[in-house]
Chains A and B, each alone.
Chain A
Amino acid sequence: MRIEQAVKRAIKPALVRVSGLSKQYVQRGAFSRRKFVIHAVRDVDLEIQPQCLTALVGESGSGKSTLARCLAMLERPDKGEIWFEGAEISRGRGKELASLRPKIQMVFQDSAGALNPRFSAAEIISEPLEIQRRCGGDKLRKRACELMEEVGLSPDWADRRPLEFSGGQRQRLAIARAIALQPAFLILDESLSKLDLITQAQILQLLSDLQTSHDLTYLLICHDLTLVKRVADFVMVMQNGEIVERGTRQEVLNSPQHVHTRHLLSSVRDLESTFGDFQQGSGS
């Protein structure tokens, strides 16, 4: 089984390939001439395999979100190239990229901030469909209700505002919006971080189901290694704008090579072991 998997992966080309990606931000003081240059992403190379979940792990400020935004075409990198399904997307002009944008979608961390509070749920989901002119009129609402059902929300709530939903429900709404255009690649930028454990588990189950039905590839940006352990196929560790370790889940989590990875794992390990001891009855 494993060999078959490996062979299959070797044959399938990577969905996303990044080489030499760099992005920096410049901050200026208001009255001074000083500039602070923040190297958010430094010379990053990576590949994302199709139909898998790749986890990008790192502390705050390590550049994960910037990298994600570049992949989602929300920002232009300063240097480097991004190849998606064989097309270079970081330097293209508007029209060329327009056909590719629907294929890469993003779900953000703050669901309340990512959804327009004045729109109803149905309007939020159908907005991308409208913009991309996939359908119109009555069919919009119908499609929106279908999508709501697919993510586990009752279509009766189609007219509710986002703030009337709970956090977990809002993320479902955001996911429905993201899959409306039938993307191939879904980036989840800390989308599970603000949810409690049980809701997290439910959303993960939803994502797993969606992957089967929609043939999706996920990039999960996360700082919670416990979560990553449970769901990732591939793991990449980022520190200070660089990817310091990458590999399959087993490789990275069981035999970490880089100091930073070990540091991250040890924080989680202490917690888990205390808890494990507890459960087994050897703690006090």
Chain B
Amino acid sequence: MKYLERRMVHGALLLVSVSVLCFLFTDLAPGNFFDEMKLNPQISSDTVASLRSQYGLDRPLPVRYGRWVHSVMKGEWGYSFAYNSPVRGLILLRAPNTLLLTGCATLIAWLIAVPLGVWTASRAGGWPDRVCMSGTSFCIAVPEMVVVFGLLYFSIRTHALPAGGMFSRGFEQFGFAEKMIDLAKHLIIPVLTLVLASLPILVRHVRASMIEVLNAPFMAAARGHGISRSRVLFGYALPAGANPLISLFGLSLAGLLSGSLLVEVITGWPGLGPLLLEASVSRDLYVVIGVVMSSTVFMIMGNLLADALLVAVDPRVRTE
């Protein structure tokens, strides 16, 4: 219990530090939400000033921070100027969309990466391995943007897939099955982009971890007892090589809310990405801070889960 307790305390401290840093950074950025209004000749500067004080933007930093914390405790998570509503509602509206996207992408990436990594490791040096290595190098080198634009171009040309967005027109009238199919069609391009971005690194890690394990004496010993090759690979090698993969998995989880920003913006997926971008550009402070904090929470939970899994899976870590 001591271990988990310590980790949770660390997590809490981390959250507090991140929130403070967030405030500091947004404060450093020049301007505020109402600067746009100043450009409008019809609105007097007095109005702008009074609006500012109304929203508390002229108060010193610690006061604003205190008010924000109070708002978080109340359950509002701050207030959005642009949308004129608590931040919580906005995030809860958009977050599930992001999670759907990244969740699918992560799942598919891992489901492909593990068998592929194990297979290429067992045939290290052979042609499947070399093809895989150059393929992954290529995918890592190509930027996400290029991939997503390429896919969008392809879809526009061929009309095979919807070019962005999450729903087709008239979504509400669809039956359940049609809704699912529509959603799936819209998911293909963004998910494919994300998978192509994360898959190569995962495959390489799995492969590297497997190669290390495959040379261990107990692998040869298992073969010497007449156990079949596939069983040796998946029943002996994979569990033994799982440690680094579990940490990676934790990182994957940690990045669930934050990994898809670019893709969402380009494909018009209504997730946290466009929200964050919009808010950053218009200096909608508390929305920015709210989204960043949500990502941080996920990151901390992801890491905690990875640590807990590590202890649960590897008996050697336990008796330390």
- Interface residues, chain A, with chain B CB atoms under 8 Å away: 27-33
Q: Are A27 and B1 in contact (CB under 8 A)?
A: no
B319 contact set on A, CB distance < 8 A: 27, 29-30
Q: Cα distance A32–B320 when bound, in Å? A: 11
A30 contact set on B, CB distance < 8 A: 3, 311, 317-320
Q: Does B225 contact A (CB under 8 A)?
A: no
CB distance from A112 to the nearest CB of B (A): 14
B317 contact set on A, CB distance < 8 A: 30
Question: B308: nearest residue on chain A (CB-CB)?
Answer: A31
Q: Does B92 contact A (CB under 8 A)?
A: no
A33 contact set on B, CB distance < 8 A: 1-2
- Interface residues, chain B, with chain A CB atoms under 8 Å away: 1-4, 311, 317-320
Q: Cα distance A33–B5 when bound, in Å? A: 13
Q: Cα distance A27–B311 when bound, in Å? A: 16
Q: Cα distance A106–B317 when bound, in Å? A: 30
A28 contact set on B, CB distance < 8 A: 320
Question: B317: nearest residue on chain A (CB-CB)?
Answer: A30
Question: B310: nearest residue on chain A (CB-CB)?
Answer: A30
CB distance from B1 to the nearest CB of A (A): 6
Question: A32: nearest residue on chain B (CB-CB)?
Answer: B1
Question: A28: nearest residue on chain B (CB-CB)?
Answer: B320
B1 contact set on A, CB distance < 8 A: 31-33
The 6 A-B residue pairs with the shortest CB-CB distance, nearest first, are: A30-B318, A30-B311, A30-B3, A31-B1, A31-B3, A30-B320
Interface of A is mostly: loop
A31 contact set on B, CB distance < 8 A: 1, 3-4, 311, 318
Q: Cα distance A129–B208 when bound, in Å? A: 37
B3 contact set on A, CB distance < 8 A: 30-31
Q: Cα distance A154–B3 when bound, in Å? A: 53
Interface of B is mostly: helix
CB distance from B311 to the nearest CB of A (A): 5
Q: Cα distance A27–B2 when bound, in Å? A: 14
Q: Cα distance A29–B319 when bound, in Å? A: 5
CB distance from A110 to the nearest CB of B (A): 15
Q: Cα distance A213–B77 when bound, in Å? A: 79
Q: Cα distance A27–B4 when bound, in Å? A: 18
B318 contact set on A, CB distance < 8 A: 29-31
CB distance from B5 to the nearest CB of A (A): 11
CB distance from B243 to the nearest CB of A (A): 15
B320 contact set on A, CB distance < 8 A: 27-28, 30
Supplied contacts A27-B320, A29-B318, 17 more A-B pairs, CB within 8 Å: A27-B319, A28-B320, A29-B319, A30-B3, A30-B311, A30-B317, A30-B318, A30-B319, A30-B320, A31-B1, A31-B3, A31-B4, A31-B311, A31-B318, A32-B1, A33-B1, A33-B2
Q: Cα distance A6–B317 when bound, in Å? A: 53
Q: Pick 19 A–B contacts, CB within 8 A, sort by A.
A: A27-B319, A27-B320, A28-B320, A29-B318, A29-B319, A30-B3, A30-B311, A30-B317, A30-B318, A30-B319, A30-B320, A31-B1, A31-B3, A31-B4, A31-B311, A31-B318, A32-B1, A33-B1, A33-B2
CB distance from B280 to the nearest CB of A (A): 42
Q: Cα distance A164–B106 when bound, in Å? A: 44
Q: Cα distance A134–B287 when bound, in Å? A: 65
Q: Cα distance A33–B311 when bound, in Å? A: 16
Question: B318: nearest residue on chain A (CB-CB)?
Answer: A30
Q: Cα distance A33–B317 when bound, in Å? A: 16
Q: Cα distance A29–B2 when bound, in Å? A: 10
A27 contact set on B, CB distance < 8 A: 319-320
Q: Which of A30, A31, A33 has the most CB of B within 10 A?
A: A30
CB distance from A99 to the nearest CB of B (A): 36
Q: Cα distance A33–B3 when bound, in Å? A: 10
CB distance from A237 to the nearest CB of B (A): 30
Q: Cα distance A27–B320 when bound, in Å? A: 7
Question: B2: nearest residue on chain A (CB-CB)?
Answer: A33
Question: B4: nearest residue on chain A (CB-CB)?
Answer: A31
A29 contact set on B, CB distance < 8 A: 318-319
Question: B320: nearest residue on chain A (CB-CB)?
Answer: A30
Q: Cα distance A29–B318 when bound, in Å? A: 6
B4 contact set on A, CB distance < 8 A: 31
Q: Cα distance A208–B197 when bound, in Å? A: 64
Question: A30: nearest residue on chain B (CB-CB)?
Answer: B318
Q: Cα distance A171–B197 when bound, in Å? A: 49
Q: Cα distance A31–B320 when bound, in Å? A: 10
CB distance from B124 to the nearest CB of A (A): 20
CB distance from A120 to the nearest CB of B (A): 24
A32 contact set on B, CB distance < 8 A: 1
